[in-house]
Structure 1
Amino acid sequence: MTLDQINKANSEQIYSLFENCCCAPNWIQKMIDARPFSSKEAVLEASEKNFAQLVEADYLAAFEGHPQIGNLETLAKKYANTSGSASHEQSGMSAAQKSVLEEMQALNIEYLERFGFIFIVCASGKSAQEMLDLIKSRINNDRQSELTIAGNEQAKITKIRLEKLL
């Protein structure tokens, strides 16, 4: 989408576009109100500025826009290596990978019960093992610290989605 299209889109269209980047209604409205944008950089700067103004309820709304990793099939699809590996390497998960995914599934459930929101991380370029290591390192945080970390991860995810939009 071009910058001109973003600036000229009607409220319904632009709401939907921004919602695909982040589901926090306050962030979406702030982005709509920030138009017109003078450049792609201005869009990204507005997003960063608007994220800094969000509160807990906004973060929780944003997190709800992500599917929860709740079963092995979802995890296997999420972390399957499809970037040019030989087909036999893509056809299944090794026993070690399956154990990583099973542990990740259990920790996702524990995380949700502990914090009241799903595990949020900018997963771009991360392996299943890296994701497991991250959830293990964060599971014992206090809720406020974890909310801050998850919010920062959401901001990274949103930036990537905005960059793809632009």
Structure 2
Amino acid sequence: MTLAEFNELPPQDADAVLTRCLPVPRWVAAVREGRPYAAWPDLESAAAAAAGSLGDGELDEALAGHPRIGERASSPAHHAEASAREQSGVDRSDAGVARALAEGNAQYERRFGRVFIIRAAGRSAPEVLAELDRRLGNDDATERDETVSQLCEIALLRLREVAS
């Protein structure tokens, strides 16, 4: 779908496309209502601005749509196809990587009370593990901001795949 086609989608169809990118109704509405977009950077800016102000409930809602890094999506809510594509650089067949990710995920969830989220597309397993380790040292507010930033990167990646 081109950006022009996205701009002309009926509201309910635009909502369906946007919900696959970031399942937060306020974000979906804000991005949809910003149409028409003249160019990709305009859409990207609007999407990033709307994602930047996610409330705690919205953050929880958005995270519910993501599997743990290194795990296969097991629920339709996890957008299995997109998640698998985005995590393709993380080699789950390597037992050491799988163990390190499982341990890191568990430590992160104990520390922050939510799933670790990172834009895995374009990153190798060692890069993901290094980021996980680094972010475990963040304070709660800094990590919340990084989580929102990563969700925004994932949403924009998915949106670019659809509206390019």
Question: Do these two structures clear the TM 0.5 threshold for a shared fold by scoring above it?
Answer: yes
Q: Which residue of 1 aligns with 2:96?
A: 99
1:32-70, Cα deviation, whole Å (9 max, x unpaired): 111222222221121122123322322222222111247
TM norm structure 1:
0.78
How far is 1:129 from its partner? 1.4
Q: Tell me which residue corresponds to 2:145.
A: 148
Are 1:119 and 2:121 counterparts?
A: no
Cα shift at 1:121: 0.8
CA distance in structure 1 between the partners assigned to 2:143 and 2:21 by the alignment:
21
Distance between the aligned counterparts of 1:70 and 1:124, measured in 2?
12
d(CA) in 2 for partners of 1:107 and 1:156?
Answer: 21
Amino acid at match of 1:25: P
In structure 2, the CA distance between the partners of 1:71 and 1:53, relative to structure 1 (3 Å rule), is closer
In the alignment, which residue of structure 2 is the partner of 1:49? 49
RMSD, matched Cα: 2.5
Contact 1:11–1:32, Cα closer than 8 Å, also in 2: yes
Residues matched between the structures, number: 150
Which runs of 4 or more aligned residues in structure 1 lie more than 3 Å from their structure 2 counterparts after TM superposition?
Answer: 69-72
Alignment correspondent of 2:158: 161
- What is the match of residue 24 of structure 1? 24
Larger radius of gyration: 1
Percent identity of the aligned residues?
Answer: 26
- 5+ residue gaps in structure 1? 81-91
